[in-house]
Structure 1
Amino acid sequence: MKEKDKVNLFDVIPYISEHVTTEKEGDLSVIVFPRFRNKFMQRYFVPRGRSAYLHVKLEDHGTAVWDLIDGKRTIKEIAELLAEHFDHEENYEYRITKYIGQLYSNGFIKYKTAL
C-alpha cells in the first residue's frame, strides 16, 4: 500500500451494510441479516421451518457502539461519545476499534473515508 493510500482507522466512517437491519429487544439491539444473500441459496438451502434470517443480539456495550454507527460519524467521534459509557477505562478506544473491526469482518458494516 502506498504511503498516500494509508488511512487512519479513527478517520474512517463506518456504516451499516445494506443487507443488515436492526431490531430492538428492550434496550438492546439485534442485528438481523440473511443466512444467504443469493436468492437461489435462500430458497433451496434454508432449513425447512427455519427463518431465512439470522439474529445476533448485542450486549450493552455492543448496542452502545452499534447505535452510534450512522454513516456520518468517524470511529474517533464514536469513541469520544462512548467515553462516559465505558467509564473512561484504560484502552476503551482499543476495545471499540476492535469491536468495530469485528463488525466489519463479519460483513455487518462497511467503511468509507471522510472527504
Structure 2
Amino acid sequence: MAKPLNLLELIPKRIAKWEEVEGLVVILKPKFSHPWMREHLLPRLKKPYYRVKLDETGSSVWRLCDGQRTVEEIGKILSQNFGEKIEPLYERLSYFFQMLERNRFLNLTQKDQSSGQ
C-alpha cells in the first residue's frame, strides 16, 4: 500500500503567469483552456486573462512557492513574518494550496529522493 502524502513535505511550484500590482500578487488565468481557443481567440481579446488578486498573506505565500521550499518551510517563514495573525497556519495553508492546485496555478510535488533532498 502506498504511503499517504504528507502536505508538509510537498514542494509547491508556481505554474501560472503572475504579476505584482501595488505590492500584491495578481495571478493571470487564461480565459480559455482549450488549445484551439487559446491560439485563435485569446490574441483577439483586450483582456485575455482573468485576474485573481491575492491579499497580503496569499501574496507572501505565492512568492515563497519557488519549487525549492517545502510547505513546512514556507509555514515557518510565514510564522516568523506574521506571528499569531496567521493562525491556524497549516490549516489555512492546506486549504490555500488545495485551491491553487485545483485551479492549476501551481503543482505540489514530492521531494526528489534521487537528488538526496
User: Smaller-chain TM-score range?
Assistant: 0.7 to 0.9
Deviation beyond 6 Å, 4+ runs, structure 1: none
Answer yes or no: is 1:22 the counterpart of 2:18: yes
> What's the offset of the Cα at 1:49?
4.6
Q: Between the two proteins, what is the percent identity of the paired residues? A: 30
With normalisation by structure 2, the TM-score equals: 0.81
Is the CA contact (8 Å cut-off) linking 1:28 and 1:59 kept in structure 2?
A: yes
More helix by share: 2
Query: Residue in 1 aligned with 2:108?
Result: 111
Query: Residue in 1 aligned with 2:83?
Result: 87
With normalisation by structure 1, the TM-score equals: 0.83
> What's the offset of the Cα at 1:94?
1.1
Separation (CA, whole Å) in 1 of partners of 2:11 and 2:52: 22
For residues 44-59 of structure 1, the aligned pairs below 5 Å read: 44=41, 49-59=45-55
SS of residue matched to 1:70: coil
Query: Residue in 1 aligned with 2:98?
Result: 101
What CA deviation, in whole Å up to 9, does each residue of 1:61-86 have, x standing for no partner? 11011010000000000001100333
Answer yes or no: is 1:60 the counterpart of 2:32: no
Question: Aligned-residue CA RMSD in angstroms?
Answer: 1.8
Q: Which runs of 5+ in 1 are unaligned?
A: none
Is the CA contact (8 Å cut-off) linking 1:86 and 1:92 kept in structure 2?
A: no
